[in-house]
Chain A
Amino acid sequence: MTMGDAPNHHILSVLVENRSGVLARVASLFARRGYNIFSLAVAPSEDERFSRITIVADVDSSPLEQITKQLFKLIDVVKISELDPRTSVERELLLATVKAEPERRGQVVELVQIFEGKILAVGPDAITVSLDGNPDKLDDFEELMRGYGIVELQRTGRVALPKLDREARVRAVKGKAS
């Protein structure tokens, strides 16, 4: 499976109050409509009172509009922006343990270096690597590693912010809900 953006992938950046239960509220709005959250990342924002949730969801535009409006209605949601991948910076982190028998280790290491990844641990016939970057790059790397044999793999949800001086392209959804 590739992690690249299917046409109906949308990225929502949701600023929420940093308190218990908020993630459950946000997630259940997707769940009750039968939509899957593709990737999710949550962490405190620049203001410790708020956290930023980056959601990549597999939803058509029209139900997404309804979900966005419903998200707005949550008391703990302060701001929502839908980020256009073309005008946003997106990053993800990948950790993987890849089979690397001595005779193929050189090839794996070379690929890791090409992708500017880091080697975190080396075992007799496997290595653990980390790689960050935009999701497409991680997809490509993952695809290549598959040929050597992936023992374990974990990707974070993606985080995203609008690119600088392109504010106009951030579709900030207007009208805070009741």
Chain B
Amino acid sequence: MKITGAQALIKSLEMAGVEVMFGLPGGCILPAYDPLLDSSIRHILVRHEQGAGHMAEGYAHVTGKPGVAMVTSGPAATNLVTPLCDAYMDSVPMVAITGQVPTFAIGTDAFQECDTVGITRSVTKHNELVMSADDLPRIIKEAFHIATTGRPGPVLVDVPKDVLQNTMEWYWPDSVDLPGYRPNTKGHPRMIREAAKLILASERPVIYAGGGILKARAADALRELAELVNVNVVTTLMARGAFPDSHPLALGMPGMHGNYTAVTAMQKSDLLITLGARFDDRITGKVPTFAPEAKIIHVDIDPAEQGKVRRPDIPIVGDCKQVIEEIIREIRALLHAGETQADTSTWRSRLSGWREQYPLSYEPSAPGDALKPQYCLEVLRDSCPSDTILVSGVGQHQMWCSQYWHFDHPYTWVNSGGLGTMGFAVPAAIGAKVGRPDKLVWAIDGDGCFQMTAQELVTAAVERIPVKIGILNNAYLGMVRQWQEMFYEERYSEVYLSQDVPDFVKWAEAMGCVGIRVDSPEEVQPAIDKANEIDDRPVVVDFRTDSREKVFPMVPAGQSNDDIILPPAQQALRTRGA
């Protein structure tokens, strides 16, 4: 059957199981948009290509399926660079299709030409320029295979216009042939045995669970392991939801803005059971002083993570789910054979002591004072079902979300962890809602972040995607303000945005959303209730919050986790105690 490259592209996407894609047409990709009219694939027309990329990410985060974005050449492709890099850093499966100028025009500085594969080489797991329509099905099949297997990531396929217009004989390959790509999913049996022994022998073990748990769909296995050996679990920013916060063994988030117990548990541990985490600098603080007494078991599907930051005592390359299940089997066998587990009771009582002494806390606002952002989050958390999907941008509000929300289900937390992309929340929330229309989706954004990608709410309004956006509006680039206050002697440089401009309520209304403004604590609950009742259009709630509020605890950048700064009240207590 002879069909055009454009038809082959859309047919290939259908064959790859694509149900939804996010995009915006233009010159070179035009031919592909014609067969799309006859396709089963739902296309969501975005207002900016960056939005398409983040929507694809949000969709992938909550469904586990690859998100797909399709845009044209040149500026559209360059607008996709940020989401691609974001997806690459956070290992999000994504396939991007970009138009390209016709093959004969490549390299001539043609209109809307850019070297897309060159530009995106270092921000994709793989990319490919298609030079013949005959290659399209194979390359699309490979793209989805690469994006979703091993350590997931974004793959870009660049398709010149004439390739879309030429005809080809349709086929769909039944397998992929990539001699250089064979991800190792099964851990080394000897290493697994060693890991099991070390876990049983350790007196101060901590499970350091990262985003890889979610990518490997290993949340159940993680829970089984933790309960089997009664070991506490820290969940990194990328792993929130991978282990229920309500579980007695949950310690919450470690890292620069992690809670005292999670940070200190890692510091004082004698064994970090590292599962799908990568010793990010936001977790380790100053590396030479990080968890100095801990042995390291490092399970990761990416061999390049082994020893990248911290040399593991037991490296295990493999799929988190498979490896955890193997470790559980091995531990059971050891216990069955009469092996006993070391006594961890002293350790666990130390942990509960810290938890009692240094809980997350903030000063509630006195009557008449400005609204506290943490309070807004607590009310929101308590007003939403526990499987609500929470999406955030990047900055103070992101940290407060991770700290104050109670994540009890996997795939209910969507954020930009590695790249820290301001403007992520609005489009990612839209993608998440498209992927899980059955769930309530709230995005918490900063006023700085919101102004970067808010126009996608037009997309949401027009496409009837009822997301809710809560802006923690402190009129500042809050995290930068916090650093300037703490580390630059309160010399505030270019961080004040504006108290009254834009008018977020009017802006929301202009975009077809409902806008609500909240100035005082009493208005928080009614506003959230009202927002939760609206299901036919997006809602934006402008929470006017206290700009002086800072995120605590905090480990200043480049310092040791031992130098964690607590909220002022606790810090005073601790200093007095010491």
Known contacts A66-B308, A72-B303; decide if A178 and B150 are in contact (CB<8 Å): yes
- The majority secondary structure among interface residues of chain A is mixed
- Is A75 a contact partner of B178 (Cβ separation < 8 A)? yes
**B577 located at the interface, meaning its Cβ lies under 8 Å from any Cβ of chain A in the complex:** no
Partner of A74, one of B180, B302, B306: B180
- Is B183 a contact partner of A75 (Cβ separation < 8 A)? no
Q: In the complex, A84→B182 CA distance in Å? A: 26
- Is A75 a contact partner of B117 (Cβ separation < 8 A)? no
- Is A175 a contact partner of B303 (Cβ separation < 8 A)? yes
**A6 located at the interface, meaning its Cβ lies under 8 Å from any Cβ of chain B in the complex:** no
- Is B317 a contact partner of A175 (Cβ separation < 8 A)? yes
Task: Pick from A16-24, A97-105, A123-131 the stretch touching chain B.
Answer: A16-24
Task: Pick from B118-126, B242-250, B352-360 the stretch touching chain A.
Answer: B118-126
Output the residue of A20, A72, A77, A175 with the most chain B CB within 10 A: A175
Interface flags, B177-191, vs A, CB<8A=1, else 0: 011111110000000
Chain A contacts with B in 58-106, Cβ cutoff 8 A: 65-66, 69-70, 72-78
Q: In the complex, A62→B146 CA distance in Å? A: 28
Known contacts A175-B303, A178-B301; decide if A28 and B180 are in contact (CB<8 Å): no
Please give, as numbers and ranges, the residues of chain B lying within 8 Å of A24 by CB-CB distance.
118, 121
Partner of A78, one of B146, B151, B180: B180
**A177 located at the interface, meaning its Cβ lies under 8 Å from any Cβ of chain B in the complex:** yes
**B344 located at the interface, meaning its Cβ lies under 8 Å from any Cβ of chain A in the complex:** no
- B215 → chain A, closest Cβ, in Å? 11
**B149 located at the interface, meaning its Cβ lies under 8 Å from any Cβ of chain A in the complex:** yes
Q: In the complex, A50→B316 CA distance in Å? A: 30
- Is A32 a contact partner of B122 (Cβ separation < 8 A)? yes
Q: In the complex, A16→B180 CA distance in Å? A: 8
- B140 → chain A, closest Cβ, in Å? 15
Known contacts A28-B122, A178-B150; decide if A76 and B301 are in contact (CB<8 Å): no
Partner of A21, one of B129, B181, B307: B129
Q: In the complex, A97→B181 CA distance in Å? A: 45
Partner of A17, one of B121, B151, B180: B180
- Is A17 a contact partner of B184 (Cβ separation < 8 A)? no
Beta-carbon nearest neighbor of B178 in chain A: A75
**B304 located at the interface, meaning its Cβ lies under 8 Å from any Cβ of chain A in the complex:** yes
**A169 located at the interface, meaning its Cβ lies under 8 Å from any Cβ of chain B in the complex:** no
Chain B contacts with A in 138-195, Cβ cutoff 8 A: 146, 149-151, 178-184
Partner of B184, one of A21, A69, A176: A176
**A163 located at the interface, meaning its Cβ lies under 8 Å from any Cβ of chain B in the complex:** no
- A153 → chain B, closest Cβ, in Å? 32
Show 9 residue pairs from A and B whose CB-CB distance is below 8 angstroms, ordered by the A residue: A24-B121, A66-B304, A74-B126, A78-B179, A78-B180, A175-B184, A176-B183, A177-B303, A178-B183
Binding site for B on A (CB under 8 A): 16-17, 20-21, 24-25, 28, 32, 49, 65-66, 69-70, 72-78, 175-178
Going nearest first, the 6 A-B pairs with the smallest beta carbon separation are: A178-B150, A69-B304, A178-B183, A78-B180, A178-B151, A175-B303
